[in-house]
Structure 1
Amino acid sequence: MLPVMVIRTSNRVGLAWLDCIVSVPVEAAWLTCFNHRCLEAENQQMYACIDLGSNSFHLLIANWHDGRHDIVERFSDKVQLGEGLADGGRLTDDAFARGLRCLHTFRHALDRYPIQHCWAVGTNALRIASNADEFLKAASQLGINIDIVSGLEEAALVYAGVTSALPESPEPRLIIDIGGGSTELVIGQGDTRLQSHSMPIGCISWRDRWFAEQPADANELEKRLDLALQSAEQVFAQVTQSLASNPWSDVYASSGTAKMLAGVCAQRMGASSPNSVDLPLLKSFKPDILQVARDPTYVLPGLKNGRRELVLPGWAVLCGFMQATGVQSLRFSPSALREGMLHYMVKAAISGDSPLHELRAN
């Protein structure tokens, strides 16, 4: 059975409005959702950003005009391309197939829009997989050419994306993006990145390392979680001295793991949307996430069913970062790598260069 995607949109495309809620198989969603006209405005450019992460694939389609962008559509599919992938290993047959199936779906969506600029970026799973070239070749046959970016280039994209949605500030900011296979850390001031790090730790890699075989005994499971937390803290401790050389004022976390845990925190605080994560509050619901892992019927308010298997590793990674760096509170940023891709694509369209070259020249 194909996975089900729920899409909720209320977007302006030129002068056309589309309001719909669709709950259909992913492969069919594109065929049923986009029965509308796309009116092209003068000096308007349409961009498509494809983010091939180790956990999820994302497609963002946006219009750029008059110096600003309007998001037309956002799509996500939990492909888990990095599932079972050790450093230097191969993408599994199942992960390979899921990835290509998602790209077929994205191809249908792209064909329904007058897109002038499209950029696809592969991150950690495609950086380390020994058969990444095979996946890139299969994707190119769909007309989707993928650029694999380094960890530091990924950090630059994340920084551009997060800061694009923040008010200007003279104060340095620390940004963390926990992905499926890696975590990017950036300290920046305005448009300038002061230091960047890409750490070999993510929600998928930490799940495969610590929770691939989950202990049946409750005490043993808690010990496993404690070890996962301690190990995560040790990973981030490798860069704490460097981070401390550029003191920051605010901390922002982006992407799915941060959103998941901020959502649980929001429910605890009675907030309507995921806005922030406090370390004491995060640690307080440790018994709840252990119960989630043991009991498939247990409901933790704010945690989506599709994220249940990642709550233990995600909690360990974020807690490990906060404990290692002394961060007591951080804010969730809904903008991330895809918005950063859009930033560099617009620069490339103006300069006549490629977005990858713009990224590497920055």
Structure 2
Amino acid sequence: MYACIDLGSNSFHLLIARWHEGSYDIVERFSEKVQLGEGLAESGVISERAFARGMACLDTFRQALARYPIERCWAVGTNALRTAGNADLFLHKASEKGFLIDVVPGLQEAALVYAGVISALPDDETPRLVIDIGGGSTELVVGSGQRCLQSHSMAIGCISWRDIWFRDPPRTEPALSQAMDNAVTAAAEVFSGIAGKLAETPWREVYASSGTAKMLSSVCAQSGPGKRQATGVKLETLQSLKPAIMRSVLEPGFSLPGLKNGRRELILPGWAVLNGFMTACQVTDLNFSPSALREGMLHYLAQASATGESPLHALQAH
């Protein structure tokens, strides 16, 4: 039985799975909104409150792990632990609780995301573009089958974009509308820097993974007549959501269909970042992938177990 721990800038995740003959069964999933990257864009450090939330979550994970006969456990830290000035202190305190965390560079994070996304797709050579919008960074991969043809890690995410653009959202409709437009324009400028490079490797399908994509896929699915299964995002639908998103911010009593209360504070930056990406890279529609970095970690953990090496070494060798 394997355990994978993903310490992201927004959420911490624990995946426990049973691996048997090349496939796995998910035993448990745990997720907690820690927001380790809260205020990081401004202060450069993990705040005292975020630090405490992270430690408390690790205590919860430790209790969950104790209930299972875990053979191998792998913990990975991403953008917040890559960039925070006090990341070493967090890693030290985590080690005292029994968690040895591998902080992976952005391109290795992208490889983990890609491996996770394609694990749930047909095993073929279809060229695909994969995007994962996290709390502090966004990973992009164009791949075909098991091969990553190009990878990028961008310094833009739903937590950092919230802290930059929507820390104190305007309370009037014209001002909020302008702030949303400005945030989309700024996001598009970030992604336009690699749009040309991405276009050099044409893709047929686009998949978006993790929380922001899940949130917006769910909201898009509820925006039309009737209720549809949340499977993806069309740019036209995403842009048409602007008035409803503004209403959800300006009217506390209004509930945006498909949006969970725990994600309300991230709807503005999430919408802006995904809108900016799709606009800059001329993506008219994309699919939501329920598989992401944790499933990619599981792939490399199983591969490492078969060879006797560490999962980080298996990832680096790839």
Structure 2 length-normalised TM: 0.98
The equivalent position to 2:256 in structure 1, one of 285, 291, 300, is 300
- Between the aligned partners of 1:305 and 1:321, the Cα distance in structure 2 is 25
Quote the residue 1:175 is aligned against: 130
Contact 1:88 1:130 in 2 (8 A): no
Is 1:164 matched with 2:109? no
Aligned residue pairs, count? 317
Quote the residue 2:64 is aligned against: 109
Matched-pair identity in %:
64
Deviation at 1:256, TM superposition (A): 0.3
RMSD over aligned CA atoms reads 1.0
Q: 1 or 2 for the larger relative contact order (CA 8 Å, sep ≥6)?
A: 2
Is 1:327 matched with 2:287? no
Contact 1:88 1:128 in 2 (8 A): no
Query: Which deviations, in whole Å up to 9, do the C-alpha atoms of 1:200-245 show, x marking residues without a partner?
Result: 0000000000011222222111111100000000000000110010
- Between the aligned partners of 1:309 and 1:91, the Cα distance in structure 2 is 19
Q: Amino acid of the residue matched to residue 248 of structure 1?
A: W
Quote the residue 1:16 is aligned against: none
Contact 1:348 1:358 in 2 (8 A): yes
Quote the residue 2:293 is aligned against: 337
Q: Amino acid of the residue matched to residue 321 of structure 1?
A: F
Contact 2:12 2:32 in 1 (8 A): yes
Contact 1:262 1:277 in 2 (8 A): yes
Q: Amino acid of the residue matched to residue 289 of structure 1?
A: I
Quote the residue 1:196 is aligned against: 151
Query: Which deviations, in whole Å up to 9, do the C-alpha atoms of 1:258-300 show, x marking residues without a partner?
Result: 0000001111243443101000011111001111111221111
The equivalent position to 1:247 in structure 2, one of 191, 198, 202, is 202
Larger deviation: 202-211 or 163-172?
Answer: 163-172
Contact 2:172 2:250 in 1 (8 A): no
- Between the aligned partners of 2:84 and 2:30, the Cα distance in structure 1 is 25
- Between the aligned partners of 2:30 and 2:227, the Cα distance in structure 1 is 25
Q: Secondary structure at the match of 2:150?
A: strand
Give the gaps of 5 or more residues in structure 2. none
Quote the residue 1:4 is aligned against: none
| More helix by percentage | 2
Contact 1:87 1:129 in 2 (8 A): no
- Between the aligned partners of 2:125 and 2:73, the Cα distance in structure 1 is 33
Give the gaps of 5 or more residues in structure 1. 1-45
For the structure 1 residues 220 and 88, does the alpha-carbon distance in structure 2 shift closer, same or farther, using more than 3 Å as the test? closer
Give 1 or 2 for the bigger CA radius of gyration.
1
Quote the residue 2:310 is aligned against: 354
Contact 2:127 2:203 in 1 (8 A): yes
Quote the residue 1:77 is aligned against: 32
Quote the residue 2:49 is aligned against: 94
Is 1:290 matched with 2:250? no
Q: Amino acid of the residue matched to residue 160 of structure 1?
A: A
